[in-house]
Amino acid sequence: MASAQASPTVTIGERRAKKWNDNQQRAVFYASLGLMLASITSIRWACALIGFPAPAAWLVAVAFELLVAIIGDAASSTRRTNDDGSKGGYYGSLWAIFTFMLLLAMTANVGHAVFTMGEAFTAGGMPAFLMDYQGEVMGLGSAFAAAVPLGGTFGFHVSGFLRKYGAGADWVDENGAKQTTVSAPEPRVRRRKDPATAAAAVQAPRPTVRATVPNPAPERPAPPAGQDQVQDQGAESRKSDKANVLGEEQVYELIKQALDAGDDHRLKASGDLSGTSIGKLIGLSRTQGSRMRKRCISRYLAESDNDIPGWLMQLVADDVKDKDG
């Protein structure tokens, strides 16, 4: 899917910002998943309390928490598509299922916390100064237990937000293709002439044209045949040279194809993409060709995820040092 305009060149700093944003998004996702999976013991306890055998209780707890995590991610990141192609609201069915399962997980966590704290107060396992605040302690403990799966839900939503709107989110289209191409120009449509207008033009009388014969011009001596031939050959050679001159975008495509294929030897001094060779391709000096080659390599390094040989990295690094100096 090509973009309407050619995207700007992606710099190394922007690529580093995107990597940092990706790391944040993964960290939030796994932290949220950890909070959701932390409720496994509470759900296992609830299953055992209502009569599930131990293996079945563990199986239900693990499967339940995984489903809650996956449905939460889908509900907070999946949106409807409108008729005009724009993004609409979220799916209510996903949110209904997720809310129901989240309430079950929160109930299991709160119930486990209440039973555990109640046994601790009864057996004297709580500090003595908390005995007068049993209701407050039970309320705070229950709220914290309920916040564990709820915090995981918030984390999933933040993870989806970073993935969609974080650094570098606009570098790819919906199909995952890099926006570095330019859409082809719209084909020109030849308008057909109105049949009535064409018929009227045919039927209209043609004007009478009277020609006058000018006086014959004096004859000029013809130049030597060799001189005409030399002038024609010089003009043709200049036209062919201008037609064969390449632009920077074409040179970049040649270098990109060579690096994608692993033919980095073509960029060496003896190759067909050396500084001297590129200078000839663009119709300029060797120095200008070397500079264009370094610019194209730097652009390839910024836009492509492929690794390039060390000697090319050193070539670009030396050029950056020269500019800084």
Between 17 and 111, the more confident residue is 111
178 — phi, psi (to 5°)? -65, 140
Instruction: Give yes or no for a contact between 273 and 309, defined as CB atoms under 8 angstroms apart.
Output: no
Q: Which of 84-88, 137-141, 174-178, 271-275 has the lowest mean pLDDT?
A: 174-178
210 — phi, psi (to 5°)? -105, 125
Residue 168 buriedness (CB in 10 A; 0-12 / 13-18 / 19+) = middle
Structural Rg of the chain based on CA atoms: 37
- Structure tokens that stand for 190 in this block: 């030849």
Average pLDDT over residues 6-34: 78
Whether the predicted model's global pTM rises above the 0.85 cut: no
The tens digit of pLDDT for each residue in 139-192 reads 998 898 888 888 877 787 787 777 767 776 666 544 444 444 444 455 555 566
- Structure tokens that stand for 318 in this block: 């030396």
Distance (Å) of CA 211 to CA 188, 201, 204, 208, 214: 39, 23, 21, 10, 9
Average pLDDT over residues 15-31: 84
pLDDT at residue 227 greater than cutoff 60: no
pLDDT on residue 324: 47
Close Cβ partners of 75 (under 8 Å, ≥ 6 residues apart): 90, 91, 94, 95, 97, 98
**How many C-alpha atoms does 325 have within 13 Å on its Cβ side?**
6
pLDDT on residue 100: 92
Q: Where are the alpha helices (DSSP H) in 132-274?
A: 134-165, 195-203, 225-244, 248-260
pLDDT class of 58 with cuts at 50, 70, 90: very high
Number of neighbours of residue 19 by Cβ within 10 angstroms: 12
